Amino acid sequence: MLGSLGWLGGLVCLLTAGGGGGSEADVPTVFRAVVRPEVPDKPSGGGSNPIDRFIEAALAAEGITAVPEADRRTLIRRLTFDLTGLPPTPEEVQRFVADRRPDAYERLVDRLLASPHYGERWGRHWLDVVRYAETHGYERDDPKPNAWKYRDYVIRAWNGDLPYDRFVMEQIAGDELTDRSPDALIATGMHRLGLIDDEPADPVMDRFDQLDDLIKTVGTTFLGLTIHCARCHDHKFDPIKQTDYYRLLAFFEPSRPFVRGSLESISVVLSSPSEQRRREDLNGAVSRQVKRLKAELESTPPEAKIRRKELEQRIERLETNRPAELNLALGLTDRGADAEPTRIRIRGDAHRPGDEVAPGFPSAIDSRPPEIASPNGQTTGRRLALARWLASPENPLTARVMVNRLWHYHFGRGIVGTPSDFGAMGDVASHPELLDWLAAELIERGWSLKAIQRLIVTSAAYRRSNAWNSDAAEIDPENRLLWRRTPRRLEAEAIRDAMLAVSGSLRTAMGGESVRPAIDRAVLEGQSRPGSGWSVSPPEQAHRRSVYVHVKRTLLLPELELLDAPDTNEPCPSRATTTTALQALTFLNGEFAHEQATALADRLEREAGSDPDAQIELGYWLCFSRSPAAEEREQARCFLDEYARLAAAEVVASDGPTPSRRALEAFGLVLLNANEFVTVD
C-alpha cells in the first residue's frame, strides 16, 4: 500500500501503543530496537549494492521494471550538486565522460565526499533542521553574538565526518563532556538558535516558551517525534504522555536563561581555565599599573606638561594592550550543579504548576530512570544523560531518523516522507526494511554519515535516469518505489551559488563572520528599523557561498527568500518548492541576476574570445554541462544577431557597451534563467 497512514492508521497506532507497557507486538514499530533485517536475495541481473536488493524486491512485488541508468554527463552533474551544491566545471564533466576505468564513478564519489564544499552543502541542510538564524527575531531582531561559530562548527563536523553519535552528544551537552573541546562547547549553540523575545510582556511564560522551543527542536531533530504536542495534554496521536514532555523538559530547565543585555547569559567561554586565569592575572597587573600611573598623574602639577604627557601615553598604551577579551561562542550551560524541581504546568500554563516530575525519557520508548551525575561540579549532568541516551545504539529512533534525512536530501523524499515526524500522523515508510538496514549499517560503521552516503549514491536506484515508464507510473505515480529519478529544482542557496560559480564571481573562502550582500533600499525600508543590522559587505566578500550569508530573521536575502529559503522561526525538515511570477520577475530584472549575467559575459569573452559560436558552446557547457544541440546553437546565434541589431538601433552612449556585448549579456541572462540551469535530473 503506497498511500499515507491517515487518520485510521493513527487510531490503530493509538489503540495498540499501550504507553509502552504492553507486549513487543503492541509497541509501534519505530519504537522498537533497530534490528538488521536480512538483505533480499539478489535477483537475476540485479545490483550487488544491498540498497538495490531492497529496492528491486519492492519493485518486483509490484511488477514494476525500473528505467536504465542515466548517462555520465547527467550523473556527474547530479552527484556534484548533491554532494557539494555547486555545478561541475566543463573540464570535470569531460574528464569523467572520457574516463573508462570500471571504478570511475566510485572515484568521483570519493573525490566529492572529500571536497571542503561537501561540508558547506550538507551543513546547510543541517542548519535548516535546527532553525539556524543569527538574530533573535521579534521587532528589534538584535544579533545573536558569535552565532556564525556554530555554523562553522557544523561545516567542520560534516567535512571531518564526525561520527553522528558524537555530533549528537556535542550539541546536546558539549559543555558536560569530560573530553570536551572548544568545538563541543560551540556545538551547544544549537540550543540558542531559536526566537528570543528580549522584551517579554510575561517573563515567566517567555522562559517556558524558550524551553518549549528546545523540546520541539530536540524531539523533531533527533527523534522524529512531535513531543512538544504534549505540552498541554497527552499527545492526541502518539503514545507520548504529558508527563513525558515535562520529564524531558527537566533535562533543560536548569540551563542558564537569557538575560537582556548580558552576552554571558547565552555564551560559553572557549578559552581553557589556564588561559582564563592567565588573562585575569595579566589584566589585574595592567589594572594595578594603570591605577598607580593615574594616581601619579593626579599628583603631578599642571605645569609639568612633559611628565603629564608621558604618563598619559603610558596609560593609553597599557589600556590599548590589555589582554584580549574572552573567546566566547553562542552556547548553553547550566546555572550550577543543583536543579530546582520541575513541575507539570497545568494545560501548559507556566503560571499553573502541578505535580513534580523527575528527568526521564519518553515512557513508550524507555521507562528506565536516567543515570545522572554531575561531570564537573559546575552543571547538573542532566543533559549529558539525555545525550548518552540519544546517541546510544539501543535508541530506536536516532539512527533511523538520520539515515532517513540523508535519503530525503538525495532523493527529494525520505523513506519516511515526513523526516521530522515518525509518529502516527507522519508518512508510512516506503521501504521499512531498508530503513532499518541503513540504521543498523550506520551504527555498525561507527556512525559515519559519509559511509552511508557513499552506499546511497553508488546504488543503481540513485543512478537511474528520469526516463518515463507509463506502466510503472500507473502503479506508482508518485515514484515512491524509485523506478526512475524524479527531477528536482535546486534550492535557493544552490541556485545563487551556481550563478556565482558559472559567472566566475564565486569566492570560495571558508568560515568566519557572515557576509551581507547588497539589498535593494526598498526592501530595507520594510524593516521596523530600516537598514538596521545590514552593513553591506564589499563584493569580494559578498560573493561568497550562500551558507555564509548573514541570516537575519526579519530580513532574508531576497534572492534566497523568493526561492523558498526556510522560515527560520521553526525547524525546517523539508523545503517547499514553489513557482511564482515574482521569482521570474526578480531573476529576469533584478540587480543580482544582471550582475551575474554581466560577469558571465565577461567570462565568455575572456575564455572563448569574440567568436559567437565559441561563446555559445562555452555558455552551454558552463550552465548545462553539455554542448548545445544543432537547433539550440542556431537559436542562440539568431538571438545574438537579432538582439545586437535591435541594440544598434537604439541611442547608445559612446562609452557604453557595444551592441554585440549587450547581446552577449542578454544571452547570459537567458542561460541563468533557463529551467535546465536550476533543475537537476
HSE of 397, CA atoms in CB hemisphere, 13 A: 25
Q: Tell whether 501 is covered by a domain.
A: no
Residues 44 and 110 in one domain: yes
Q: Residue 555 pairs with which residues in a beta bridge?
A: 552
382 CB contacts (<8 Å, ≥6 apart)?
250, 251, 252, 254, 334, 339, 359, 370, 372
* Residue 531: predicted pLDDT: 74
Q: What does the pLDDT look like over 557-611, one tens digit per residue?
A: 999 999 999 999 999 999 999 999 999 999 999 999 999 999 999 999 999 999 9
Range with top average pLDDT, 37-51, 281-295, 498-512? 498-512
Residues 235 and 338 in one domain: yes
Looking at per-residue confidence, does 301 or 668 come out higher? 668
Angle, alpha carbons 175-215-337 (nearest 5°): 35
Read off the pLDDT band of 11 (50, 70, 90): very low
536 in Cβ contact with 382 (< 8 Å): no
Residue 361 to residue 367: CA distance in whole angstroms: 7
Residue 164 to residue 158: CA distance in whole angstroms: 9
Q: Tell whether 558 is covered by a domain.
A: no
**The pTM is what?**
0.91
Please state, as a whole number, how many other Cβ atoms lie within 10 Å of the Cβ of residue 340: 9
Q: What percent of the chain has pLDDT over 90?
A: 80
* Helical spans, DSSP H, in 300-381: 305-320
Secondary structure (3-state) at 241: coil
Residues 257 and 314 in one domain: no
**Does the pLDDT of residue 35 top 50, yes or no?**
yes
* Helical spans, DSSP H, in 24-159: 50-62, 72-84, 90-98, 104-113, 116-129, 147-159
Please state, as a whole number, how many other Cβ atoms lie within 10 Å of the Cβ of residue 589: 10
Q: Tell whether 156 is covered by a domain.
A: no
Residues 317 and 411 in one domain: no
Residue type, 476: D
Q: What does the pLDDT look like over 167-195, one tens digit per residue?
A: 999 999 999 999 999 999 999 999 999 99
Residues 242 and 354 in one domain: yes
Q: What is the CA radius of gyration of the chain?
A: 29
Q: What does the pLDDT look like over 113-127, one tens digit per residue?
A: 999 999 999 999 999
Residue 558 to residue 430: CA distance in whole angstroms: 36
Q: Tell whether 580 is covered by a domain.
A: no
* Helical spans, DSSP H, in 391-532: 398-411, 432-444, 449-457, 460-463, 470-475, 492-503, 521-524
Helices 612-624 and 659-672 pack at an angle, to 10 degrees, of: 20
The three cell numbers locating residue 579: 513557482
Q: Tell whether 647 is covered by a domain.
A: yes
503 in Cβ contact with 600 (< 8 Å): yes
What is the distance, to the nearest Å, from the Cα of residue 199 to the centroid of all Cα atoms in its chain?
29
Looking at per-residue confidence, does 165 or 20 come out higher? 165
Q: What does the pLDDT look like over 228-265, one tens digit per residue?
A: 999 999 999 999 999 999 999 999 999 999 998 888 89
The three cell numbers locating residue 296: 601619579
Range with top average pLDDT, 7-21, 374-388, 437-451, 513-527? 437-451
* Residue 279: predicted pLDDT: 79
248 in Cβ contact with 360 (< 8 Å): yes
The three cell numbers locating residue 634: 542556431
* Residue 171: predicted pLDDT: 98
What is the distance, to the nearest Å, from the Cα of residue 83 to the centroid of all Cα atoms in its chain?
13
Residue 219 to residue 236: CA distance in whole angstroms: 16
522 in Cβ contact with 498 (< 8 Å): no
Average pLDDT, the chain: 92
Residues 21 and 69 in one domain: yes
* Helical spans, DSSP H, in 114-199: 116-129, 147-159, 164-173, 182-187
Q: Residue 330 pairs with which residues in a beta bridge?
A: 267
Of residues 122, 364, 114, the one with CA closest to residue 237: 364
Looking at per-residue confidence, does 27 or 647 come out higher? 647
Residues 11 and 110 in one domain: yes
69 in Cβ contact with 465 (< 8 Å): yes
Residues 283 and 380 in one domain: no
Residue 273 to residue 271: CA distance in whole angstroms: 7
Q: Residue 357 belongs to what domain range?
A: 163-263+333-390
Q: Tell whether 533 is covered by a domain.
A: no
What is the distance, to the nearest Å, from the Cα of residue 502 to the centroid of all Cα atoms in its chain?
23
Q: What does the pLDDT look like over 348-357, one tens digit per residue?
A: 999 999 999 9
Residue that is written with C-alpha cell 526592501 in the block: 523
Residue 189 to residue 182: CA distance in whole angstroms: 12
Domain stop point among 282, 306, 326:
326
**Does the pLDDT of residue 369 top 90, yes or no?**
yes
Domain stop point among 486, 520, 544:
486
**Does the pLDDT of residue 48 top 70, yes or no?**
yes
Q: What does the pLDDT look like over 416-468, one tens digit per residue?
A: 999 999 999 999 999 999 999 999 999 999 999 999 999 999 999 999 999 99
Residue 609 to residue 109: CA distance in whole angstroms: 34
The three cell numbers locating residue 171: 550539541
Read off the pLDDT band of 27 (50, 70, 90): low
Q: Tell whether 357 is covered by a domain.
A: yes
Rounded to the nearest 10 degrees, how much is the dihedral formed by the CA atoms of 437, 439, 441, 447? 180
Secondary structure (3-state) at 196: coil
Least confident of 24-33, 269-278, 496-505, 515-524: 24-33
168 in Cβ contact with 391 (< 8 Å): yes
Read off the pLDDT band of 89 (50, 70, 90): very high
Q: Tell whether 470 is covered by a domain.
A: yes
Residues 65 and 82 in one domain: yes
497 in Cβ contact with 506 (< 8 Å): yes
Of residues 370, 352, 348, 349, the one with CA closest to residue 361: 370
Read off the pLDDT band of 652 (50, 70, 90): low
Residues 15 and 102 in one domain: yes
- Quick one: DSSP state of residue 57? H
* Residue 579: predicted pLDDT: 94
Angle, alpha carbons 203-207-210 (nearest 5°): 135
Secondary structure (3-state) at 183: helix
Domain count, the chain: 4
The three cell numbers locating residue 496: 545563487
Least confident of 293-302, 416-425, 495-504: 293-302
Residue 442 to residue 330: CA distance in whole angstroms: 30
Residues 285 and 350 in one domain: no
Residues 402 and 460 in one domain: yes
Read off the pLDDT band of 653 (50, 70, 90): low
* Residue 322: predicted pLDDT: 81
**Does the pLDDT of residue 226 top 50, yes or no?**
yes
Domain stop point among 436, 452, 486:
486
**Does the pLDDT of residue 654 top 70, yes or no?**
no
Secondary structure (3-state) at 515: strand
Q: How many helices (H) and strands (E) does the chain have?
A: 29, 6
* Residue 519: predicted pLDDT: 92
Least confident of 74-83, 132-141, 263-272, 427-436: 263-272
Residue that is written with C-alpha cell 524541581 in the block: 341
